[in-house]
Structure 1
Amino acid sequence: MPAVSFSHVGITVADLDRAVEFYTKAFDLYLLMPPSEVLQDNSAIGEMCDDVFGAGWGRFRIAHLSSGDGVGIELFEFPKTDDSKPPFDYWKPGIFHFCLQDSDLEERVKRIEALGGKQRMQQVRYYYPDQKPYRMVYCEDPFGNLAELYSHSYELTYSSGAYADDA
């Protein structure tokens, strides 16, 4: 079987409107579907949500965005969403970040910070100092979700053995 393609990632936020503004402006994502309300009912989407969330979820708001290469980001706002930032428990099981690619990391970080996010690392780092221009940096959105940024594709960065002593 061939490798699967990545479709989208879902992110829960405390303020959907602010998140849509952040993600469309900080990362230039396309807004596919503006914030919309989903209700617990007998519709196809209502029944799908029953399967995922269980009985009694009631309602939520959702927006759909897309990256330049067609990978989606679903933003969710639930009525009981706590507006506190999640703890950075990187050692616990689960997804702790997602990664986007941009050749101009420094300018992208400035935009992220101007929109209420922050650079988590002290500086943009090079995988192969003095050899290749492959760079990376971790940032946070205004809600505490981690976004890693790469200057080059995942394949280029790791096909050369980024952690090998002889790289």
Structure 2
Amino acid sequence: MKMNHIGIMVGDMNKAVEFYTKVLGLKVIMDNTQVIEERETAIGRMCIAVFGPGFKGFNIAHLVTTDGIGVELFEMKDRQERHPVDFSRIGIFHFCLQTDDFESVIERTKAFGGKVRMDIMRYHPEDDSKPAKMVYLEDPFGNLFELYSHSYKETYAVEYE
């Protein structure tokens, strides 16, 4: 199994594309496109099945990480209410990106309207041979994401291969 893409709801598509490209370094592969409710195309029928009839349309943009994972940004026409993160709710509550430019990404996140949710943490502060760092951040729309300095395997494996 491989990760293919994630979908993220945003409140302002132009601001979101700017944040995800300039702060996180993602590349746009399909720019902001308007989707309307219609039944003539496969995409139209799929959107009705997912969002329900009467969804009023949305804007979508497709971005990609340097390792090829897709990020779909959705700006719904009729659902612009920001919801608080409810940690008692079952389901996905964040995504994680890895970077070699750890501190700069944190600074750009703040500069472009995002938030830093915690101090930078090292998973193994007692072991200098395991320098992995992490931090939780927020995009300008309240979507949580985690930032890693090392791969998932390097961060958690008992022994690096």
Residue 121 (structure 2) pairs with residue 125 (structure 1): yes
Identical-pair percentage: 50
Paired with 1:93 and 1:83, the residues of 2 have a C-alpha distance of 20
Q: 1:38 maps to which residue? A: 35
Q: Which residue does the alignment assign to 1:136? A: 134
Please give the secondary structure, in 2, of the residue aligned with 1:22. Answer: helix
Residue 103 of structure 1, aligned match among 100, 104, 114: 100
Tell me, yes or no, if the aligned pair for 1:83 and 1:143 is still in contact at 8 Å. Answer: no
Aligned partners of 1:27, 1:104: CA distance in 2, in Å?
Answer: 10
Structure 2: any 5+ residue segments left out of the alignment?
none
State TM-score, norm by structure 1. 0.89
- 101-110 or 145-154: bigger deviation: 101-110
| Corresponding residue number in structure 2 for 1:20 | 17
1:33 maps to amino acid: M
Whole-Å separation in 2 of the counterparts to 1:44 and 1:98: 28
Q: Out of 4, 7, 15, which is 1:7 matched to?
A: 4
Partner of 2:62: 64
Structure 1 vs Structure 2 CA RMSD: 1.3
CA distance in 2, matches of 1:110, 1:117: 9
| 2:56/2:78 contact within 8 Å kept | no
Cα displacement string for residues 67-112 of structure 1 (whole angstroms, at most 9, x for unaligned residues): 000001100011112243x212122111111000012321110011
Which residue does the alignment assign to 1:112? Answer: 109
Q: Which amino acid aligns with 2:132?
A: Y
| Matched pairs, number | 156
* Aligned-partner residue type, residue 134 of structure 1: A
Per-residue Cα deviation, 1:23-69 (whole angstroms, up to 9, x for no partner): 00110100011100112221111011122122222311100000000
C-alpha distance in 2 between matches for 1:90 and 1:70 = 29
Structure 2: distance between partners of 1:160 and 1:104: 25
Structure 1's unaligned 5+ residue stretches are: 162-167
Q: TM-score, normalised by structure 2?
A: 0.92
